[in-house]
Every structure is written in structure tokens, then in C-alpha cells.
Structure 1
Amino acid sequence: MDRIAKLKTFLESSPDDSFLKHALALEYIKLDDDATARRLFEEVLEKEPGYVGSYYHLGKLLERAGEQTLAAGIYEKGMEAAREAREKHAYNELQAAYEDLMY
């Protein structure tokens, strides 16, 4: 069974599991299915805005789609979430992505 099928099976038992949705979104990115990945990242962040890792990947996805303004906003929200969670490494990664985009 491939990774996507396995993750979908796990999600049937735990449909609100942010880790599983995030992992599934990453698998869809590998398949160049950014629309599905975006939907999944957005679902994760809507349900659990403190899930810091999804901000970076969603921001990068939006950048690839040419949506720089939305990407910048996602990075800003992610930096705030990382600051609140005291996740310095994640904050620094989001800040670097934001600065690369803006400057």
C-alpha cells in the first residue's frame, strides 16, 4: 500500500489528526498536486492554528502558485504562532522565508 493510501486509511479512524493531514499534504506536494496539498494545509491550520509546521509549507506552496501576498500573510501568522509556542527554530525558518519573499 502506498503512503497516500496508508495515510488516508489512518485518517478514516482519526479524521481530525493534524499530523496525518500534514503528512498527507506533503505527499501530495511530491505528486505536484498543490491544490490538494493546499486544501489539507488550510484544514490543518483552520482546526489547529498552533500547528506551526504547516505554515512554512503552505507559504512555499503559495509562493510557487504566484500568490506572494497570501504567502507573506501565512508566514506572518506562522511567525506569531511559533512565537506563542516558543518554537524558535520554526520562527527562524518562517522569518527567513518571509524575508526571502519580501526583500
Structure 2
Amino acid sequence: MSRIEQITELLKENPSDSFLQHALALEYVKSGNDPDAKSVFEKLLADNPYYVGSYYHLAKLFERLGQDDEAIKVYERGMDIAKELGEQHAYGELKSAYEYLIY
């Protein structure tokens, strides 16, 4: 059973588990399945906008797809959430990637 299958099975038992959703999206990224990764990241952040780590990965996915405007929006939203939560490390990573993209 692949990791994607394992995580999918676990999500059947607990579909709202943000950690499992994030892990599934990362597995999709690793396997080159950007459309499914994008879908999972977007659903995760719609359901749990405070799952800060997913903003970075979703924005990077948009960058790979050549959708820089979307990536910028995701970085900005992630920075706002990180700042609100006092997550300085996450904020710094998002800001660094954001600035690299826009400059």
C-alpha cells in the first residue's frame, strides 16, 4: 500500500484531520500530482485557515504552475495568519519566499 493510500485510509476515519490532509497533499506533490495537491491544500485551508504550514507549500505549488499572482496572494494570507498567531518562524519563511518571488 502506498503512502497516499495509507493516508487516504486514515482520512476516511478522521476526514477533518488537518495533519493528515497536509501529509496527503505533500505526498501528491512528491508524486508530481499537482492538481490533487492543490485541491487538498485549498480544502484544508478553507476548513482550517490557521494551519499555517500549508500556505508555504500551496504558494510554492502555484509558483511551479507559473501562477505567481496566486502564489503572492497565498503568501500574503499566510503571513497575515502567522502574524495573528504569533508564529514568527512561519512568518519569516513565508516572507522570505514572498520577497524572493516579488523582487
Verify same fold: TM over 0.5. yes
Q: Quote the residue 1:39 is aligned against.
A: 39
CA drift of 1:59 comes to: 0.2
- AA aligned to 1:23 is A
Could you report, residue by residue, the CA deviation over 1:13-33 in whole angstroms, capped at 9, with x for unpaired residues? 001111101000000001100
1:2-81 pair list within 5 angstroms: 2-81=2-81
Could you report, residue by residue, the CA deviation over 1:37-59 in whole angstroms, capped at 9, with x for unpaired residues? 00000001000001000000000
Aligned partners of 1:84 and 1:50: how far apart in 2?
9
- AA aligned to 2:97 is A
TM-score, L = length of structure 1: 0.98
Aligned partners of 2:85 and 2:6: how far apart in 1?
30
- AA aligned to 1:11 is L
Could you report, residue by residue, the CA deviation over 1:49-78 in whole angstroms, capped at 9, with x for unpaired residues? 010000000000000000000100000000
Aligned partners of 1:3 and 1:98: how far apart in 2?
30
TM-score, L = length of structure 2: 0.98
Aligned partners of 2:6 and 2:81: how far apart in 1?
29
Aligned partners of 1:44 and 1:68: how far apart in 2?
21
CA drift of 1:5 comes to: 1.0
Aligned partners of 2:24 and 2:33: how far apart in 1?
11
SS of corresponding position for 1:70: helix
Which ranges of structure 1 fall in alignment gaps of 5 or more residues? none
Aligned partners of 2:63 and 2:98: how far apart in 1?
10
Percent identity, aligned pairs only? 52
SS of corresponding position for 1:66: coil
SS of corresponding position for 2:19: helix
Equivalent residues, number = 103
CA RMSD across the alignment: 0.5
